[in-house]
């Protein structure tokens, strides 16, 4: 079997790495890939969707797996399916659950999916008028895609005005900020709950939790993710059951009632409140860095699950997980998530022990070796029976890796319950 993975981040490196363990996968391609992926897959630099389609046909690729959200929201699945080519991911209509936060919130309101109370604004003046009478803190979100950086928790009116000015007037996220969501701030603990979906059935994955803030103690601006753990200790069996019943099944059934078939990965970013789990956002793909901690725990051949999703046979595909925990820390460039420089040589990669996984993100091969090529550069990951052991190996490895301006959080996975046997694992197939 030949498989193509689209994307260039740590998520895509983890996907390629997992697929490379399948005895049924003969060759892996990646567009565009990165320095780490190139050691496992044939990487090609193609940007145009039509050229990607031609590449798939010419190389007789059996399945294409889409990593990032933008191609899905822009309708790459629809174009592949029109050509009768197998592709893993939701079509354009289904991907709107991530592509538009306004669409997602109105959908949740319509189908009784628990989420924070909200208002939609298309005018910055109208939003600012609302701030004169509302209580704080609140959350302001850009409607469209913003690379995980489009949500702002604001504590007072001045901060709210500043965010509105940046998002709606200065166009920090371009057209994605033409509309905004203003929603009630929810208190609790966050969980990333992902599930495989084939349009009829869902199979929940092991839960995870990412660390979004740039600095230790959850300080600083939001990022695409500075680290992650799996499973999330506070995602209990009871909470998982409520999530499956009130959220995942409601989403699938609601989409079906609207004539939308959802195939691929459905990612629910949850806040576990005193009133149960509520949805913060939906994503239409694997998370990053959640994928880097989830896939090492997947015992089942990933290619089998991908095929079952595409063919609508997920209910007949047993999915098993290792009884372990997983932890990941992301090394980033100085200045991330704002301005940063590229092109610094990365040292120490050949000094890492075999029981630690290095998933490349912003890296590139040059004549001088592997250099930095993005904000999030490397995900350093380990699995074990105890978080403390996995964490020790990850941070020990990070001390061996060096590049100019390298920075990472020192508190990922600190103060966690330790034994993997304590955590609930959502592995049942739910029709």
Q: Please name the fold of domain 117-184.
A: Dna Ligase; domain 1 (3.30.1490)
Give residue 415's pLDDT band: very low, low, confident or very high (50, 70, 90): confident
Query: How confident is the model over 181-199, as pLDDT tens digits?
Result: 999 999 999 999 999 999 9
- pLDDT > 70: percent of the chain: 97
- For the cut 60, the answer to whether the pLDDT of residue 423 exceeds it is no
Per residue, what are the HEC states of the chain?
A: CEEEEEECCHHHHHHHHHHCCCCCCCEEEEEECCCCHHHCCEECCCCCHHHHHHHHHHCCCCEEEECCHHHHHCCHHHHHHHCCCCEECCCHHHHHHHHCHHHHHHHHHHHCCCECCEEEECCHHHHHHHHCCCCCCEEEEECCCCCCCCEEEECCHHHHHHHHHHHHHCCCCHHHHCCEEEEECCCCEEEEEEEEEECCCEEECCCEEECCEEEHHHEEEECCCCEEEECCCCCCHHHHHHHHHHHHHHHHHHHHHCCCCCEEEEEEEEEEECCEEEEEEEECCCCCCHHHHHHHHECCCHHHHHHHHHHCCHHHCCCCECCCEEEEEEEECCCCCCCCCCCCECECHHHCCCCCEEEECCEEEECCEEEECCCEEEEEEEEECEHHHHHHHHHHHHCCCECCCCECCCCCCCCCCCEHHHCCCCCCCEC
pLDDT at 430 (0 to 100) = 45
CA separation for the pair 356, 401 (Å, rounded): 13
- pLDDT > 90: percent of the chain: 94
Q: Which two tokens stand for residue 158?
A: 């001045």
Instruction: Please state the rounded mean pLDDT for residues 212-220.
Output: 95
Instruction: Please state the rounded mean pLDDT for residues 388-403.
Output: 97
pLDDT at 115 (0 to 100) = 97
Domain locations along the chain: 2-96, 117-184
pLDDT at 422 (0 to 100) = 53
Query: How confident is the model over 288-316, as pLDDT tens digits?
Result: 999 999 999 999 999 999 999 999 999 99
Query: How confident is the model over 366-383, as pLDDT tens digits?
Result: 998 999 999 999 999 999
pLDDT at 429 (0 to 100) = 44
pLDDT at 38 (0 to 100) = 97
Question: Angle, nearest 10°, between helix axes 124-131 and 157-164?
Answer: 170
Q: Which two tokens stand for residue 381?
A: 């990951």
Instruction: Please state the rounded mean pLDDT for residues 224-233.
Output: 96
Between the two ends of the chain, the Cα-to-Cα distance in Å is 28
Q: Which two tokens stand for residue 295?
A: 């896939």
CA 202 from centroid of its chain's CA atoms? 18
Give residue 416's pLDDT band: very low, low, confident or very high (50, 70, 90): confident
Instruction: Please state the rounded mean pLDDT for residues 224-240.
Output: 96
Instruction: Please state the rounded mean pLDDT for residues 239-261.
Output: 95
Q: Which two tokens stand for residue 190?
A: 């966050």
- On average, the pLDDT of the chain sits at 95
- For the cut 60, the answer to whether the pLDDT of residue 426 exceeds it is no
- For the cut 60, the answer to whether the pLDDT of residue 343 exceeds it is yes
pTM for this prediction = 0.94
Whether 117-184 and 2-96 are alike in CATH topology: the answer is no
pLDDT at 420 (0 to 100) = 53
Query: How confident is the model over 137-158, as pLDDT tens digits?
Result: 999 999 999 887 899 999 999 9
Q: What's the length of the chain?
A: 431
Per residue, what are the HEC states of 273-322?
A: ECCEEEEEEEECCCCCCHHHHHHHHECCCHHHHHHHHHHCCHHHCCCCEC
- What's the CATH architecture for 2-96? 3-Layer(aba) Sandwich (3.40)
Answer for the pair 238, 248: CB distance below 8 angstroms, yes or no.
Answer: no
């Amino acid at each position: 079997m030949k498989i193509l993975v689209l994307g260039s981040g740590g998520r895509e490196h983890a996907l390629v790495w997992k697929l490379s363990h399948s005895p049924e996968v003969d060759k892996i391609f990646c567009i565009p890939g990165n320095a780490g992926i190139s050691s496992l897959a044939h990487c090609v630099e193609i940007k145009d969707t039509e050229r990607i389609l031609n590449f798939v046909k010419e190389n007789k690729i059996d399945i294409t797996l889409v990593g990032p959200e933008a191609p899905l929201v822009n309708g790459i699945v629809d174009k592949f399916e029109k050509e009768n080519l197998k592709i893993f991911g939701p079509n354009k209509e289904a991907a709107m659950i991530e592509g538009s936060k306004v669409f997602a919130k109105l959908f949740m309101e319509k189908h009784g999916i628990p989420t924070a109370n909200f208002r939609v604004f298309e005018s910055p003046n109208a939003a600012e008028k609302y701030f004169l009478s509302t209580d704080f803190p609140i959350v302001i979100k850009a409607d469209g895609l913003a690379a995980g950086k489009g949500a702002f928790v604001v504590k007072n009116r001045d901060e709210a005005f500043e965010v509105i000015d940046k998002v709606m007037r200065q166009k920090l996220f371009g057209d994605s900020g033409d509309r905004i969501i203003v929603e009630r701030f929810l208190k609790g603990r966050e969980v990333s709950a992902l599930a495989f979906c084939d349009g009829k059935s869902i199979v929940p994955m092991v839960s995870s939790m990412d660390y979004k803030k740039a600095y230790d103690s959850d300080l600083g601006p939001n990022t695409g993710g500075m680290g992650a753990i799996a499973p999330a200790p506070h995602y209990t069996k009871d909470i998982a059951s409520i999530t499956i019943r009130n959220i995942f099944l409601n989403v699938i059934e609601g989409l079906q009632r609207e004539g939308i078939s959802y195939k691929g990965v459905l990612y629910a970013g949850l806040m576990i409140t005193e009133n149960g789990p509520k949805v913060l956002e939906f994503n239409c793909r694997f998370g990053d860095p959640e994928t880097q901690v989830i896939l090492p725990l997947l015992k089942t051949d990933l290619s089998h699950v991908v095929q079952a999703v595409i063919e609508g046979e997920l209910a007949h595909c047993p999915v098993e997980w290792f009884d372990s925990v997983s932890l990941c820390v992301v090394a980033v460039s100085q200045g991330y998530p704002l301005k940063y420089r590229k092109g610094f040589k990365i040292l120490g990669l050949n000094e890492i022990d075999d029981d630690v996984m290095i998933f490349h993100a912003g890296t590139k091969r040059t004549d001088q070796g592997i250099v930095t090529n993005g904000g999030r550069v490397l995900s350093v990951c380990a699995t074990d029976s105890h978080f403390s052991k996995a964490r020790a190996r990850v941070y020990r490895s990070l001390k061996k890796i060096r590049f100019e301006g390298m920075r990472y959080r020192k508190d990922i996975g600190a103060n966690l319950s330790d034994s993997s046997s304590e955590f609930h694992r959502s592995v049942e197939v739910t029709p």
